Structure 1
Amino acid sequence: MGFFLETLFGGLMAGMLYSLIALGFVLIYKASGVFNFAQGAMVLFAALAMARFSQWIPAWLGFDNRTLGNVLGFVAAMAVMVAVAWLINRLVLSKLVNQEGITLLMATLGIAYFLDGFGQTVFGSDIYKIDIGMPKEPIFILDRLFEGGLLINKEDLYAALIAAALVAALSLFFQKTATGRALRAVADDHQAAQSIGIPLNRIWVIVWSVAGFVALVAGVIWGSKLGVQFSLSLVALKALPVVILGGLTSVPGAIVGGLIIGVGEKLSEVYLGPMLGGGIEIWFAYVLALLFLLVRPQGLFGEKIIDRV
């Protein structure tokens, strides 16, 4: 029982990180109605900016304080992501208002390749370290209930708590603020939103900035765990099955989908891996997403579209 709970907790903590990345997909889709294939590249680009600025700024200003360097690096990286959001809106999205969804989709693919290449040009292609001081040693919990307790990675626990707090804050942002309601209105109908005075360009800059902030937090957490390298954008793509399960328009769906994927892949790897040869954790999420597409393509919490003729 103790081993099962350790695996379950590990899956839940990984699932919260998947949910955090999936939020970026949901944010963009809710505001523009297009699936943002650039989200993985944004996670990598933001993590690269954080890693490099936290090194460069202390060298430029002549001090040796890791905490201050991380804070300034985070602020500088966030400024870069806001600038990226403004440029994306100015140079791409504002030119494609009311275009077909496939046009916007191809635009996000172009943005993804640009960010991958531009990030490598500006920040380099080495493996960089992000050290934000999260403890990496494991801890034992519930030792009174189970002999020896349950072994939990403290870094994973802190990362899951950070992700959960951000997810909760974004949920409140969408439901309780005027800007959040405007984002939902823009997603429903661009022209109708403009006709009632909602500034489409400003809304898109805001939502891409928020998605950039989410990408930065996710990039910092994953970069702290794995190091900042170009395979990070592939890790971020694990959020694709999450949004398929939860629904492209649902913030709660991103949370539930992430937890399902995280727990499912951990349990399947541990209990089915020995029988099927291992490697289940790599493909489990995508097979589960394929099954959902066949049975419930709108996801658990997505809006079912009914076409009347």
Structure 2
Amino acid sequence: MGFFLETLFGGLMVGMLYSLIALGFVLIYKASGVFNFAQGAMVLLAALAMARFAEWYPKWFGFDNLILANVLAFATAMVLMVAVAWIIERLVLSRLVNQEGITLLMATLGITYFLDGAGQTLFGNDIYTINVGMPKEPLLVMQDTFQGGLLLSQEDLIAAVVAAALVLLLALFFQKTATGRALRAVADDHQAAQSIGIPLSRIWVIVWSVAGFVALVAGIIWGSKLGVQFSLSLVALKALPVVILGGLTSVPGAIIGGLLIGVGEKLSEIYIGPLLGGGIEIWFAYVLALLFLLVRPQGLFGEKIIDRV
């Protein structure tokens, strides 16, 4: 029972991180109606900026304070992501208002390659580290309840708490604020939103900035765990099954989908993997997403589309 709970908790914590990345996809889709393939590149660019500025600032200004370096690096990386959001709106989105979804989709693919190239040009292509002080040692709990106790990763636990808090704040932002309601209106119909005075340019800058903030937090967490390298953008691919499972338009769906896939991956790798020769954690999420596409294409919490003829 103790080993099962360790696996379950590990899956829940990883699932929260998947949910965090999936939120970036949901945010952009809710505001523009397009699936943003650039989210992985945004995570990578934000993580590179955080890692490199945290390394550069002590050298430039001659101080040796990890907290100050991280605060300055975080602020600078956030400014960079807002600047990226503004550039994307000015040079891409503003010229594609009311275009077909496939046009916007191809635009995000172009943005992906641009951000990948810009990150390599600005920050280099080595493997970098992010040290935000998260403990690496495992935590032993419930020793009196289970023999040997439960061994949990402190780093994963802290990351899951941060991700959960951010998810809650974003859910409240969408449901309780005027800007959040404006974002939903823009997602439903660009022309109707413009006709009632909602400025598309400002809304798109806001939503891409928020998605950039989410990418920055996700990049810091994953960069701290795995190191900052260009394969980090592939981590975002794990968020694709999450949004398919939860629904492209649902913030709660991103949370539930992430948790289900995180737990499913861990449990299947431990209990089913040995029967199939291992490696099930790599493809489990995509097979689950495929099954959902067959029986419920809109996901668990997505809006069902009804065409009237």
- TM-score w.r.t. length of structure 1: 0.99
**CA distance in structure 2 between the aligned counterparts of 1:70 and 1:103, rounded to whole angstroms:** 38
Give 1:143-292 correspondences, 5 Å limit.
143-292=143-292
Give 1:9-88 correspondences, 5 Å limit.
9-88=9-88
Could you list the per-position Cα deviations for residues 61-85 of structure 1 after superposition, in whole angstroms to 9, with x for gaps in the alignment?
Answer: 1111111000100000000000000
Aligned twin of 1:133 = 133
Give % identity: 84
Amino acid at match of 1:208: W
Structure 1 residue 248: deviation in Å? 0.1
Amino acid at match of 1:97: V
SS, match of residue 151 in structure 2? strand
**CA distance in structure 2 between the aligned counterparts of 1:289 and 1:158, rounded to whole angstroms:** 28
Amino acid at match of 1:25: F
Structure 1 residue 57: deviation in Å? 1.4
Could you list the structure 1 runs, at least 4 aligned residues long, displaced by more than 6 angstroms after superposition: none
Could you list the per-position Cα deviations for residues 134-192 of structure 1 after superposition, in whole angstroms to 9, with x for gaps in the alignment?
Answer: 00100111222111210000000000000000000000000000000000000000000
Unaligned regions of 5+ residues in structure 1, if any? none
SS, match of residue 230 in structure 2? coil
**CA distance in structure 2 between the aligned counterparts of 1:59 and 1:97, rounded to whole angstroms:** 44
Structure 1 residue 56: deviation in Å? 1.1
Aligned twin of 1:98 = 98
**CA distance in structure 2 between the aligned counterparts of 1:70 and 1:267, rounded to whole angstroms:** 35
Structure 1 residue 88: deviation in Å? 0.1
Unaligned regions of 5+ residues in structure 2, if any? none
Q: Cα RMSD over matched residues?
A: 0.5
Amino acid at match of 2:85: A
Structure 1 residue 58: deviation in Å? 1.7
